[in-house]
Amino acid sequence: MRITTLDYAILGLLLPGPKTAYGIRMVFESTAMGNYSSSPGSIYPATKKLRKLGLVNSENKVGGILEITARGKTALKDWLIQPITPTMVEKESQVLILKFAFMDHLVSRKEKEAFLGAFLEQSKTYSRSLEAYLKGDGAALPLHARLSVELGIATLKTQINWLRSTLQTVKNQA
């Protein structure tokens, strides 16, 4: 039984403290958390699975309060520090940002630096390849398509700046 991104997102939201499944749905709905759906048909089956895998405990006292277990933390940490591949940077950078958002206390400073460093380097590589594309084959694109790629490059540069400054912030931490 594979653990999906949604499952990890739920585990991460339980890090600061226990929540009900409904509470998690509300986080997905109100905050712009990625793109995760708050539909009951996705959250409730997911929490059931996490319980079965022993990654969360549901306390018997109160209804359905979910609490992340030690095993849950280990599984989440393993996921957080997985090596970053080019595909992830190209197609799933929101997932990488989500990982970063959960790293606070679960991951060492060294691991955070490695994560941000790899993310930064691969973002630069990808940005350069998009720029090269625009100057080469991409020059033939219709105007609107070309403008869209330009937005992609600008967004990547924003991300690169953020990664640089965040890397500094992390390095300067006590």
Q: Where does this chain bind DNA (CB under 7 A)? A: 1-2, 4-6, 20-23, 25-26, 37, 39-42, 44-48, 63-65
From the list DNA, its own copies, none, pick the one residue 91 interacts with, judged by a Cβ distance below 5 to 8 Å according to partner type: its own copies
Q: What are the percentages of helix, strand and coil residues in the chain, rounded to 5?
A: 70, 5, 25
Q: Cβ(19)–Cβ(66) under 8 Å?
A: yes
CA dihedral 27, 32, 33, 35 (to 10 degrees): 120
Of 100, 119, 120, 122, the one binding its own copies (CB under 8 A) is: 100
- Cα dihedral 3, 5, 7, 13 sign: positive
Q: How far is the CB of 24 from DNA (least distance, A)?
A: 8
From the list its own copies, DNA, none, pick the one residue 174 interacts with, judged by a Cβ distance below 5 to 8 Å according to partner type: none
The residue written with tokens 């209804």 in the block is 63
Q: What is the Cα–Cα distance from 98 to 171, expressed in whole angstroms?
A: 20
* Minimum CB distance to its own copies smaller for 53 or for 134: 134
Residues that bind its own copies (CB under 8 A): 16, 31-32, 35, 90-92, 97-98, 100-105, 126, 130, 133, 142-145, 147-148, 150-152, 154-155, 157-159, 161-162, 166, 169
